[in-house]
Structure 1
Amino acid sequence: MDFLLSQNNLWILLIALASGAMLLWPGLAKGRSNARIPLADAIQHINRDQGVFVDIRPSEQFKAGHIPQARNITLDTLDAHIGTLPQDKPVVIVDAHGREGARAVAQLRKHGFTQAFCLDGGLNAWTEGGMPLKKS
């Protein structure tokens, strides 16, 4: 007990606990936000498991350029279109930068979609990866 009460040892113990918490933090945060997936994983989900890309950007942006075969369902109309999406296949949400997709994934998971993901980096990641765009 004297070891813990010593002033120097108390500081060492606090620093050790703080550094341990910082090392664990990314793993814990990743477990909660596993909805974000990189481009390669998104393509694999779509190709291997016949998943669906859902682009939640406004229709004007969608028409200017989108992922081929992506469906345009804006975030504010997603609840109304839940029934048109396959619950047994991966659904990959695409937005402009990968920031708003988490809200859409949360909506889908609330409705029982266990394979709902957000493309990390959004459409920007798609184009930076050299993938094709389709214009309507």
Structure 2
Amino acid sequence: MELNTAAEHWQAGDAVFADIRDPQSFAMGHIPGAQRIDNSNLGVFLESVDKHAPIIVVCYHGISSQGAAEYIAAQGFTNVSSMNGGFTAWSMSYPEHVNKE
């Protein structure tokens, strides 16, 4: 999914953002409202999200998120995308929309 399309979904509040980056990177900055997922909480995440809700998977540069998006889709989710450019592109294009912990 193109970055601007992901931003439109974020603005509309109609998508779930799943961030697969490591905890330290997530804490240093993430898309507001994004959920950090990894192997330890993936099952809970999959159980808590509507199978037809738009899910946008975010990684560092938009590469690792492709495989994660494919995995989530293989679990029966119908609207899963990987965000092109990852969080790096998001933080450069939308620095005002970055949360830090």
TM superposition outliers: structure 1 runs of 4+ over 6 Å: none
Report the CA distance between 1:86 and its aligned residue.
Answer: 2.3
| 1:105 to 2:69 alignment | yes
Report % sequence identity. 28
Q: Distance in 1 between matches of 2:67 and 2:82?
A: 9
Aligned to 2:91: 127
Instruction: Give SS of 2:98's match.
Output: coil
- Higher relative CO (Cα under 8 Å, sequence separation at least 6) belongs to 2
Give ranges in structure 1 of 5+ residues lacking alignment: 1-36
Q: Distance in 1 between matches of 2:80 and 2:86?
A: 14
| 1:63 to 2:27 alignment | yes
- What do residues 68-120 of structure 1 show as CA deviations (whole Å, max 9, x unaligned)? 0101112x346423112222210000101111001111111111111100110
Q: Distance in 2 between matches of 1:49 and 1:126?
A: 16
Report how many aligned residue pairs link the two structures.
Answer: 99
